[in-house]
Structure 1
Amino acid sequence: MDKKRHQALNFQSMVVASKNSETKAMEAFAKLLPLLDTFEPLVLHISEYSHLLGVAEPDLSAIYYTLRPAFESMDEQVQVLTWEDPLWPKQTKGFAYCPRFLYVLGDLSLLAKPSLSIIGTRSPSLEGLSSAALTAQAIGSKGYGITSGLARGIDGVAHKTALASGYPTLAVIGTPIGSCYPPEHKELQQEIARKGAVVSRFAPSENTQKWFFLLRNRLMSALSLASVVIEDRDGGGAVRQASFALEQKKYLFLYQGSLDNQAILWPREFAGKPRVFIVKKAPDIPRLLAKALEMKASVGKTSCEKEEKPLQLDLFSL
């Protein structure tokens, strides 16, 4: 294994030893960095790791050797990133649940490229499918990357539209980098890895859990300038990402059709909030995003929220 994979293995061993507490592992890892070479095998410094974690040396050693085969068998093309890397996506730093390592297949530069997340239900209407494709076209044609989560439905359409049109696309997945969910998107995931990038925050030794997909959505939002929710049900994953986007001070775009749908409540809970824009058609999104970013740059962060709200009123005159 190369040194970055060994460092990632060491960290993941710390996470498991900390009863899957990334926070505790990160705190201990930060203390170790100035004390020893974290690129070397953990077992060479077992006493230091054991002392900081409060875990018996034999137990920590057993964890390390249990996890090691998954890292050794990871695809050679996988690139491991950590906070100290110059290619680490700086826009993710400081947000809740920011991972310590990322596992990437494909073009690393896409992590830093200005992009928008296109997200929505796994069971979209025909109108939703059309809207997802039009949204991807509108965003990609203005030079933005198209980010999504490789799920069935809206996500799949966003990725496929980007690939068909030659636009850069980034798949943020809710599984380790060597796995695929849903299974029928395996070829799509492989194509994105060749022509765009696939990124995971989960170590290769992890067993995929349902809650991984919410962490995936947090990361997807953090990587993007804005999230566009095409369609979703109340409480759906895309709606949760909408909340994460506002928590992270990102922009959020919703379609007027969602707001008019009386069968769901979530669009009306977001409408009217700062940085939330209700649009009628796909080309409105890059136009309004450019306007919002220009205003943010000119007025500064402190008054940004106060100044953004009038932009929402502009949407209803289109």
Structure 2
Amino acid sequence: MLHFDNRGEFEKFVSEEILLTHEATKYLGISSQRLHQLVQSGKLTPLKSTRSSSLFLKSDLYDRKFELEKSYGTSRLSDKEGGVNSVETINDAVNYFTLLALFKNKIKKCDPIYDHLATQVNLTLPTVDIAKDISTITGFDEKEILFESEKVMKGFKTLKEDDYIVKIGSELYPDLLNKTDHAPVFLFMRGNPNLLNFKAISIVGTRNPSQNGVLRAKVLAEKLGLHRIVVASGLARGIDTAAHNGALSRRNPTISVIGTPITKVYPKENEDLQRSIEESGLVISQFAPSMSVQRWNFPMRNAIMSGISLATVIIEAGETSGSLIQADYALKQGRMVFIPQSAVDNENLMWPKKYVQRKGAFKFSTIDELLEILATHNHDLFTTLDQNTKTSPANISEGSVGYVHKNDRS
């Protein structure tokens, strides 16, 4: 029971600590409809309610305000604040990556539970509002859920306002990737997502290439641009770097699928290259900003790179190269894999001879031969090689083939 020595103390308490409905919404920074939802759900209890208004104790609102500030701190990314993501998408992504963290980043365990949760709980609400429900369904402790959610939200706040958070099934999600068994629930994109409307081919290979390998990767990337094909690679040193640079040297945008969050750079030596791709191309990651960089992230991104591409070209690779992981993903996804004839003929390499025996794998001696095989199996890719070579603009940033400029995201 509160005690006041005089009427003045009582009046001061009432004026400072008792809030009407409109004062409570202003204090919490929410709408009256949202306040009503919190009352109806039992998350807030007014001192007294009438048909026209309610009275709230300010101290009762403090904890709720603190949690709302954390939850809606990411609203700077929303389209209402000039960003490109809705609050609902952000909340959904935060809830997904919170669950993933609780499952120790084990996607195969997390995704079925997330799908089930989505049928029972509105996952577009802030975690704090549904933590109890998540706890009841999953068995995770409510405090643990909120703790992981706070870490995820802290990471989200490092995203730029024009970074995209894209959920599977949404308009911006890559259609080719969506058709595979390796499609992540969420992707993070920085740059121009319109590039995903173009045909893409992945160029991959060793981190320690020969000079000839570097040259072949650059020339292939340059020539693919002549046919309005976007080059995808993984931003690793070696062949990946050469492929990205080959595309950029002709002012052709390129897509980088990375094994780190888009807020991080790896390897450090490619920081300038990553920034260039962010500006004139597209960087994609399936990893939330709150996630640490692990060595097994990089093979996982190979499935994404293959999934957005019509084909994967292996320029140079050893027997244990990560490029072979992508080749396996590509063939499982029904995509084409191209292997240089020189690699097949190399007596010191066994993998090329094994892969060319598999359905969907092709060997090639020249870039023109590779393009001809591509055209044979993808009839809409080129009208004719000869015609495209003569009439295509020098780079796919020109011409009337679609919107590819970063500033035009319609």
Q: Does 1:19 align with 2:98?
A: no
- TM-score (norm. length: structure 1): 0.89
Structure 2 equivalent of residue 276 of structure 1:
361
Question: Does 2:192 match 1:107?
Answer: yes
Q: 1:53 aligns with which of 135, 138, 154?
A: 138
CA distance in structure 1 between the partners assigned to 2:282 and 2:351 by the alignment: 31
SS at structure 1 position matched to 2:329: helix
Distance in 2 (CA, whole Å) between partners of 1:188 and 1:34 is 42
TM-score, normalising length: structure 2? 0.69
Equivalent in 202, 215, 220 of residue 135 of structure 1 = 220
What RMSD, in angstroms, separates the aligned Cα atoms of the two structures? 1.7
- 1:186, 1:229 → 2: CA distance? 24
Q: Hey, what's the Cα distance between the residues in 1 that align with 2:297 and 2:105?
A: 13
Q: Is the 8 A contact 1:135 1:283 kept in 2?
A: no
SS for the counterpart of 1:116 is strand
Q: Distance in 2 between matches of 1:180 and 1:111?
A: 22
**What's 2:326 paired with?**
241
Which residue in the other structure is 1:193 paired with? 278
Identify the range of structure 1 (33-42 vs 58-67) with the bigger mean alpha-carbon deviation. Answer: 33-42
> Is residue 162 of structure 2 the alignment partner of residue 77 of structure 1?
yes
Q: In structure 2, what is the equivalent of residue 256 of structure 1?
A: 341
Partner amino acid for 2:312? S
How far residue 73 of structure 1 moved from its aligned partner, in angstroms, is: 2.2
The alpha carbon displacement at 1:25 in A equals: 2.5
Contact 2:203 2:313 in 1 (8 A): yes
The answer (yes or no) to whether the contact 2:319–2:350 under 8 Å persists in 1 is yes
- Structure number with larger C-alpha Rg: 2
- For residue 378 of structure 2, give the secondary structure of its aligned residue in structure 1: helix
The answer on whether the counterparts of 1:138 and 1:286 sit within 8 Å (CA) in structure 2 is no
The more displaced of 126-135 and 202-211 is: 126-135
Provide the residue aligned with 1:290 in structure 2: 375
What is the aligned partner in structure 1 of residue 268 from structure 2?
183
Alignment correspondent of 1:223: 308
Q: Which amino acid aligns with 1:264?
A: L
| 1:160 matches 2:160 | no
Tell me if the contact between 1:28 and 1:52 (Cα under 8 Å) persists in the aligned partners: no
RCO comparison, higher one (Cα < 8 Å, 6+): 1
Q: Deviations over 1:137-178 (max 9, x none)?
A: 222211111000001111111111101112221000010010
Residues of 2 paired with 1:252 and 1:267: CA distance? 11
What secondary structure is seen at the aligned counterpart in 2 of 1:294?
coil
Cα separation, partners in 2 of 1:107 and 1:235, compared to 1, 3 Å: same
| Residue correspondences, number | 296
> 1:283 aligns to what SS in structure 2?
helix
Identity %: 31
Which residue of structure 2 aligns with residue 68 of structure 1? 153
1:91 corresponds to: 176
Q: Can you list the C-alpha shifts for 1:40-94, whole angstroms capped at 9, x where unaligned?
A: 2111011221122221111111111222211122222211000131111121125
Query: Partners in 1 of 2:353 and 2:147 — Cα distance?
Result: 52
Structure 1: stretches of 5+ with no match in the other structure = 297-318
Q: Deviations over 1:2-41 (max 9, x none)?
A: 3222221111001111232223322222233344432221
Q: C-alpha separation between the residues in 1 aligned to 2:107 and 2:166?
A: 16
Aligned residue for 1:310? none
Q: CA deviation at 1:95?
A: 2.8
1:295 Cα deviation after fit:
10
- The 10-residue stretch of structure 1 (207-216 or 270-279) with the greater mean CA deviation from structure 2: 270-279
Q: Which of 202, 224, 236 lines up with 1:151 in the alignment?
A: 236
Which secondary structure does the structure 2 equivalent of 1:52 belong to?
A: helix
Local SS of the residue matching 2:219: helix
Q: Is 2:186–2:286's contact at 8 Å kept on the other side of the alignment?
A: yes
Q: Report the AA paired with residue 172 of structure 2.
A: L
Give the residue type in structure 2 aligned to 1:216: R
Per the TM alignment, residue 111 of structure 1 is displaced from its structure 2 partner at its CA by: 2.4
